[in-house]
Structure 1
Amino acid sequence: MADLAEQVLAAAKTIAVVGLSRDAAKAAHGVPAALQSYGFRIVPVHPVADELLGEKVYRSLADIPEPVDVVDVFRPAPEAAGIAEQAVAIGAKALWLQQGIVSPEARAIAEAAGLDYVEDRCMAVVRAVAGITKN
């Protein structure tokens, strides 16, 4: 049986990426770009960019005008709890902290609200190993 990370990704169509980078050399750009190439809808959240990966950028999760399945976090762990609160507020189904990010506070917030929670895992690696595609 698939683990929770695989289940979350298999069920996801729309992924809001908080901290999607403008720098193509960074994982915070390459991972969402790879997911997009496999058919996932990527919604960038960034404080100053207007367009990333060919998509309109939103300043916050609350500004996104469509339902979001997963909030993917590429921000430092101390910011994760606040992002978790925003994910709950917009009705996301899951919160995913990328590899290297761990937050007991974010976990508590997400799980208390019934969101699936994944931390310290790379979405692109999980996608590749499980062979998940939306194309």
Structure 2
Amino acid sequence: MPVESDAELREILGMTRVAVVGCSSTPGKDAHEIPKYLLDNGYEVIPVNPTADEIFGRTAYDSLAAVEAEIDVVNVFRPSDEVEGIVDDALARDDVAVVWTQLNIADDEAAARAEDAGLRVVQDKCIKVEHQRLVS
């Protein structure tokens, strides 16, 4: 069952290393502005975008597998039909604790697989909105 309680969301929002899959280098796009908000609010943002070399002055990685740093949360800005593969990539790592899909992004089967493997899942919620509501 995906995370819904404010207490669990607050706990997740206390995790500071966030890999953003689909992070955009284009200002004005949600996939750029929301990770920038996280960066501005003390999070370590790790951009994952195979078409960019650098975003926010940080190395952009081609995939989760290419990220050498530890990851707490995988924040997903990709279409719902890509969530399954992203969950597979998250499960291949031993450091990911949470998969968080942004508004209008969900895959119940992939979420169930992630939860069965011990990860927490947040679906169809904006991490910025939840941070502003529960933390700021």
Category of TM-score, reference length = shorter chain: over 0.9
Per-residue displacement from partner, 1:30-60 (whole Å, max 9, x unpaired)?
Answer: 0000000000000000012000011101100
Structure 1 equivalent of residue 114 of structure 2 = 110
Cα distance in 1, alignment partners of residues 124 and 41 from structure 2 = 22
Structure 2 equivalent of residue 54 of structure 1 = 57
Structure 1 equivalent of residue 27 of structure 2 = 24
What is the TM-score of this pair, normalised by structure 1? 0.92
Equivalences for 1:48-127 in 2 at 5 Å?
Answer: 48-91=51-94, 92-127=96-131
Structure 2 equivalent of residue 15 of structure 1 = 18
Work out the percentage of aligned pairs sharing the same amino acid: 38
CA contact (8 A) 2:87 2:114 kept: yes
Per-residue displacement from partner, 1:79-109 (whole Å, max 9, x unpaired)?
Answer: 0011001111112010000011111122112
CA contact (8 A) 1:81 1:109 kept: no
Task: Give how far 1:22 is off.
Answer: 1.6
Q: Which runs of 5+ in 1 are unaligned?
A: none
Cα distance in 2, alignment partners of residues 58 and 111 from structure 1 = 25
Cα distance in 1, alignment partners of residues 17 and 128 from structure 2 = 15
- The runs of at least 4 aligned residues of structure 1 exceeding 6 Å deviation read none
Structure 2 equivalent of residue 2 of structure 1 = 6
